Amino acid sequence: MSSKNGFDKRFSLYYRNGWAVLRVYPPENSGERVFAEEIVNRMKILEIPMVRMMKIQEIIDHADGSVQKLVEWSAGAHLSPVIQTRISEDRMKAELYIEPPKIGGGGVTEEEFQHILRDNNICHGVKQETIENCISSECYNRWITIAEGTPAVHGRGGRVEYSFSLETGKPFRELPFGRIDLKELNFIQHKEAGDLLAELMPPVPPQNGRDINGEIVEANPAGEGQTLNAGENTELRGNRIVATASGNVRLDRGAVIIEPVVTVNNVDYETGNISFEGSIIIKGHVADGFTVKASGDIQITKSVGRVSLTAGRNLILQSGINGDREGNIEVGGDLYARFIESSFVHVKGSSFISGSLLNSTVKICGDLLLEGGRCEIVGGLTVVKEWIKCRKIGSLYEAKTNVVSGVEPEELDTFFDALKEVEKLRSVQDELDKQVVYFTKQCSLPGATDLSHRQKQQAEAQAKEASVKIAYMMKKIQHMRKELVPSPDSFILAEDIIYAGSKISFGLLEFTVDRRGAKKTILQVRDGRIKETGYNPAQIPEEIKQALPSGN
């Protein structure tokens, strides 16, 4: 019949506020009778000073469950519950942690709670029901909120709520482990005429709050609200924007627009080349030799070959491309593909490839993520402004693979074009020098004509002009060389291996891959040199972890 804290269902004997107190509960049946000797024995165990037996018997006879003081007992204070208090820095919350009493110690009392509230000047947001629950039942070994302030409601101007996604770009950044089903990926958000596209929500007036000490918490005034801006194929109806035509909804420079969408089964001799101001969905294939241009997105279901594709925004190749060195892709946004092979690709955004990148010339102004399949870069030239993550680079048979990270592809092209121009000018200069030598000899011969002298002067002038151009180009090259500093945020992460024979560069800095290859590695530029560190999925450097998609 005994329970916690040294009392049972019939009576309780414990310390409270400097006294030993006794509670005898009304008996529910004759078998629950309390004897004075039991209480005396309990007092001896707890080392409570003795009192007259008659006084104990009087309390037993009344048995009304009330708290009755027996004797002063200051030594029992150490048996009481230990209470810790913490107040949040902004004084919006007060919490208690109660350690349970030892045997002979009583529970937390109303008086103790009142002392805590008074000592901490807590007068607002007191949770009286929580306090009463702590008094009547055990609430030990956990933090309990006993008071919460009333937070301020900050003013807010009218806000526009859109009925479509504004974040259709780079979905691999939002999905775990970069696993994307290209068949499910769809950047085109189709709306019908009459559909709600956006709504202006009413402003929220400011309302001051109070902390637990009763002090006012000032609310920020409402700032300037947003406005509705209806663009092409939409109209403003009150505080709403609705579509006036069917098509793809998107935000264009702050205006909600509906752009037309054309859907075709195939692009071939039946349709001819397609050039469209809007987005294009191709359910089938694009025949070799055909061109598809769109100012918006392009989605193609089946694989394509020797084609030319130009997307103003994003391009989704659900089955990839094998261009046979004639496929050409220009993308103004992001590229998503299953694989890319033997093609020329220029992407102004980032690229996600769920398979392989093979024998292609690829230039990307954002990031390159290969995830989900073989995840390898084999052959060709790949230039990426930001970071690259893949499984393998190169091949066991040392296929010529050139990978560059950390610089803008266009800037790198300009630099190498300038080198080629200097080489061409020097060849021209050599030829002109030969002509000057020849005409000089001719002019030194008896009977030299005026024509020989003019030809000599012309050759000398042209050689001088070439020298000036070369000097100018060399200064330009030196300046560009200084500008081609790799981004400190760029890196190359190879989960498996970078094979020997691969040429890896960060801008103009080259990394030498030894004969054994670089296994499980991360390459970065630090202090003007390429630093190699091992790749461990459990211990990825923080700056790389933040750059990679969630879960990588």
Instruction: Report whether 123 contacts 214 (CB < 8 A).
Output: yes
Lowest mean pLDDT among 174-178, 222-226, 328-332, 357-361: 174-178
Q: Which residue, 301, 390, 309, is CA-closest to 351?
A: 390
> Which residues, other chains included, contact 30 with Cβ-Cβ below 8 Å and sequence gap of 6+?
none
Quick one: angle between helices 450-483 and 409-444, nearest 10? 160
What does the alpha-carbon distance between residue 68 and residue 543 come to, in Å, rounded to a whole number?
A: 67
What does the alpha-carbon distance between residue 13 and residue 43 come to, in Å, rounded to a whole number?
A: 8
* Residue 212 predicted with pLDDT over 90: yes
> What is the per-residue pLDDT for 173?
47
Assign 517 to helix, strand or coil: coil
Instruction: Report whether 84 contacts 111 (CB < 8 A).
Output: no
Lowest mean pLDDT among 56-70, 177-191, 437-451: 177-191
- DSSP collapsed to 3 states, 15-67: EECCEEEEEECCCCCHHHCCCHHHHHHHHHHCCCCCCCHHHHHHHHHHCCCCC
Banded pLDDT at 177 (limits 50, 70, 90) = very low
CATH of 350-407+487-547, one of 2.160.20, 1.10.1200, 2.30.29, 2.10.260: 2.160.20
Q: Region of 429 please: left (phi>0), alpha (psi -120 to 50) or beta.
A: alpha
What does the alpha-carbon distance between residue 386 and residue 526 come to, in Å, rounded to a whole number?
A: 15
Structure tokens belonging to residue 501:
């024979």
Q: Please give the C-alpha separations between residue 192 and each of 97, 195, 206, 260, 546, in angstroms, as whole numbers.
A: 58, 6, 38, 11, 39
Beta bridge partners of 511: 504
> What is the per-residue pLDDT for 168?
63
Tens of pLDDT along 470-491? 999 999 999 999 989 999 999 9
Lowest mean pLDDT among 138-152, 234-248, 481-495, 533-547: 533-547
What does the alpha-carbon distance between residue 67 and residue 18 come to, in Å, rounded to a whole number?
A: 14
341 or 9, which is more confident:
341
What does the alpha-carbon distance between residue 537 and residue 552 come to, in Å, rounded to a whole number?
A: 8
Banded pLDDT at 175 (limits 50, 70, 90) = very low
- Residue type at position 388: I
104 or 213, which is more confident:
213
> What is the per-residue pLDDT for 26?
86
> What is the per-residue pLDDT for 458?
92
* Residue 6 predicted with pLDDT over 70: no
Instruction: Report whether 266 contacts 285 (CB < 8 A).
Output: yes
Instruction: Report whether 144 contacts 95 (CB < 8 A).
Output: yes
Lowest mean pLDDT among 100-104, 281-285, 415-419, 529-533: 100-104
Q: How many CA atoms lie within 13 A of 314 on its CB side?
A: 22
Q: Which residue, 288, 282, 283, 285, is CA-closest to 311?
A: 282
Largest CA distance in the chain: 156
What value does the mean pLDDT take over residues 254-275? Answer: 93
Structure tokens belonging to residue 159:
């806000």
Percent of the chain with pLDDT over 90: 61
What does the alpha-carbon distance between residue 165 and residue 131 come to, in Å, rounded to a whole number?
A: 46
Tens of pLDDT along 297-326? 999 999 999 999 999 999 999 999 999 999
What value does the mean pLDDT take over residues 158-168? Answer: 86
Q: Which H/E stretch holds residue 235?
A: strand 234-237
> What is the per-residue pLDDT for 311?
97
Banded pLDDT at 169 (limits 50, 70, 90) = low
What does the alpha-carbon distance between residue 155 and residue 158 come to, in Å, rounded to a whole number?
A: 10
> Which residues, other chains included, contact 108 with Cβ-Cβ below 8 Å and sequence gap of 6+?
81, 83, 98, 134, 135
> What is the per-residue pLDDT for 235?
95
Instruction: Report whether 11 contacts 25 (CB < 8 A).
Output: yes
Domains of the chain, residue spans: 4-78, 80-148, 159-258, 350-407+487-547, 411-483
> What is the per-residue pLDDT for 66?
86
pTM reported for the whole predicted model: 0.67
102 or 361, which is more confident:
361
Q: Please give the C-alpha separations between residue 521 and each of 384, 494, 495, in angstroms, as whole numbers.
A: 18, 5, 7
Tens of pLDDT along 501-547? 899 999 999 998 988 899 999 999 998 899 999 888 888 888 887 77
> What is the per-residue pLDDT for 129?
93
β-strands 388-393, 209-210 pairing: unpaired
What value does the mean pLDDT take over residues 129-144? Answer: 88
372 or 60, which is more confident:
60
> What is the per-residue pLDDT for 223?
87
Q: Indicate the average pLDDT of the chain.
A: 89
Burial state string for 197-231 with b = 16 or more CB within 10 A and e = fewer than 16: bbbbeebbeeeebbbbbeeeeebeeeeeebebbbb
Burial class (CB in 10 A: 0-12, 13-18, 19+), 232: middle
